Amino acid sequence: MIEGIEAAYYRLPLPLSGDAGHGQIDAEELVTVALRADGLVGHGYAYTIGRGGRAVLALIEHDLAPLLVGQDAADVEALWETMWRRLLFVGRGGLASFAIAAVDIALWDVRGLRQGQPLYALLGGSPRLIPAYGSGVDLPKPLPELLGQVEGFLRRGFPGVKVKVGRPDAAEDEARVGAVRRLIGDRVDLMVDANMAWTVDQALERGRRLEGAGLYWLEEPTAPEDVAGHARLATTLSLPIAVGESLHAPSEFRRYVEEGAVDIVQIDPITNGGITASLQALALADAAGLPTSSHYADELSAHLLCASRRPVYLEKHAFALDPYLEAPQEVVDGHVRPTQTPGTGLRFAARALAPYRG
C-alpha cells in the first residue's frame, strides 16, 4: 500500500545553453519524488528546461499524492490510468504528463525493489551495451566553443555526436555542421536538432543544404502538431527524421508512426508521461520496425532501450543529472549499460542537490 509521496523542487543552474525552439536556457528544474510503500522507497523525478517546474510540483502534491496514498503500489499500469483519468480535464498530455511520469517512475522503482529485479529485467529486456552519443544544447555557442565541446565528446569515445541547428542564417548552420563533420571525420555519426524552429518549407530547404554532411538524423524539424508536415519531410528528405521528446501521450506517438512521420522514435520517460507511456511508444516503434533512441533521462533510458528491438543510440545529454546522482551513469568507450541493482538504480545525492532546493 502506498503510504506517502514526498516531492521536492530544485532549480539547477546551467552554463550558456539554448536551442532554436526554446531560446536561451539558463536553468533546469528538477522535481524529485520519493514514494513509500510496504517498507520500500521508490524514487522518481520530472525535469523541465526551466519553465513549469513549480506547476509539476503542485500537481504531484495537490492532485496525485492524495489520489494514490492508500492504493496498492503493485498495479503500476492501473495507477497510471488512474492518474491519467484524474487529470483528464487539464491533461491528456502537456504538463500533466510530466507529473504523472515522476510518480510512475517511482512506482516502477518500487516494483523492481520488491521483485529484486533491475528495471530492464522487469521490462523483459537484457542488459545490452548501448552506443551513446554526446549531445550539446549549444546553438548560442560560438564555433570555437562548439568544436571544443565536440572534441570533449570524441575524447569520451562517443560513436556519435549531436549539435543544434536553426540559426537565423542557413549558411551559418551549414558552416557549423560542416566544421563539426571535418573535426569528427567520417567514422563518427553526426545528428542535428532543429527543436521545432522551422516551417515545413524552411525545413525542406535547410534539410537539403545539410544532406551533404551525411547526417544520421534530423531531429524535430518543425512543429510537433504538424504530423503531415513531418511525413512530408520524412518522405522528401534523404535525412531520417527523429522525434519523440515533445510527444506527451502514447496516442501522439501512434499518429506519428501510423502516418509515416517518424524514422527514428525517441523516447523520454519524463516528457512522454512515464515509463509506462514510453513502453507503449517503444512497442509502436517495434511493431513498425523503426529504430529507437532516447532523449534525456539517460539512466532510465538505458533500461528502456534494453526493452526495444532496434535501439540505435542513447543520448548522453548535456544536462544529464549525473552530478546529482549517487551513482552517475558509467560511460565506457562511448557505450552505456543499464544498472544491475534492483529497481531503476536511480538515487539522488542529497548533498549535491541541497544548495538548489527551491
What secondary structure, in 3-state letters, does the chain show? CEEEEEEEEEEEEEEEEEECCCEEEEEEEEEEEEEEECCEEEEEEEEECCCCHHHHHHHHHHHHHHHHCCCCCCCHHHHHHHHHHHCHHHCCCHHHHHHHHHHHHHHHHHHHHHHCCEHHHHCCCCCCCEEEEEECCECCCCHHHHHHHHHHHHHCCCCEEEEECCCCCHHHHHHHHHHHHHHHCCCCEEEEECCCCECHHHHHHHHHHHHHHCCCEEECCECCCCHHHHHHHHHHCCCCEEECCCCCCHHHHHHHHHCCCCCEEEECCCCCCCHHHHHHHHHHHHHHCCCEEECCCHHHHHHHHHCCCCEEEEEEECCCCHHHECCCCCCECCEECCCCCCECCCCECHHHHHHHEC
- The reply on whether position 350 binds its own copies by CB under 8 A is no
* Contact predicate 77/108, CB 8 Å: no
Distance CA(131)–CA(302), nearest Å, equals 10
Tell whether residue 13 is a contact of its own copies (CB under 8 A): no
Say whether residue 95 binds its own copies (CB under 8 A).
Answer: yes
Cβ of residue 171: shortest distance to its own copies, in angstroms? Answer: 25
The single residue of 295, 303, 316, 317 carrying the catalytic annotation is 295
Cα dihedral across residues 74, 79, 80, 81: positive or negative: positive
Please tell me whether residue 23 binds its own copies under the rule CB under 8 A: yes
Residue 221 binding its own copies, by CB under 8 A: no
Residue 56 touches its own copies, criterion: CB under 8 A = yes
Tell me, yes or no, if 22 is annotated catalytic.
Answer: no
User: Is residue 248 part of the contact set for its own copies (CB under 8 A)?
Assistant: yes
Indicate if 295 belongs to the active site: yes
Q: How far apart are CA 285 and CA 203, in angstroms?
A: 24
**Applying CB under 8 A, which part among 162-170, 200-208, 245-253, 327-335 lies near its own copies?**
245-253
Select the span of 88-96, 127-135, 308-316, 344-352 touching its own copies (CB under 8 A): 88-96
N-terminal to C-terminal alpha carbon distance within the chain: 30
Q: Does 1 bind its own copies (CB under 8 A)?
A: no
Residue choice 58, 69, 257, 283 for contact with its own copies (CB under 8 A) = 58
- Among 8, 20, 49, 165, indicate the residue that binds its own copies (CB under 8 A): 49
97 binds its own copies per the rule CB under 8 A: yes
Q: Which stretch binds its own copies (CB under 8 A): 59-67, 185-193, 234-242, 298-306?
A: 59-67
Please pick, among 43, 164, 248, 316, the residue that the annotation labels catalytic. 164
Listed ranges 85-93, 104-112, 175-183, 282-290: which one lies at the site for its own copies (CB under 8 A) = 85-93
Q: Is 22 in the site for its own copies (CB under 8 A)?
A: yes
Q: How many residues bind its own copies (CB under 8 A)?
A: 42
251 is a site residue for its own copies (CB under 8 A):
yes
Stretch near its own copies under the rule CB under 8 A, chosen from 52-60, 122-130, 235-243, 283-291 = 52-60
| CB nearer its own copies, residue 98 or residue 216 | 98
59 touches its own copies (CB under 8 A): yes
- Candidate residues 1, 15, 62, 330; the one interacting with its own copies per rule CB under 8 A: 62
Contact status: 32 vs its own copies (CB under 8 A): no
- 189-208 residues in contact with its own copies (CB under 8 A) are 196
Q: With CA atoms as reference, report the closest residue to 234 among 253, 218, 255.
A: 218
Q: Which residues are catalytic?
A: 164, 295
Where does this chain bind its own copies (CB under 8 A)? 21-23, 48-49, 51-59, 61-63, 85-99, 196, 223-226, 246, 248-249, 251, 271
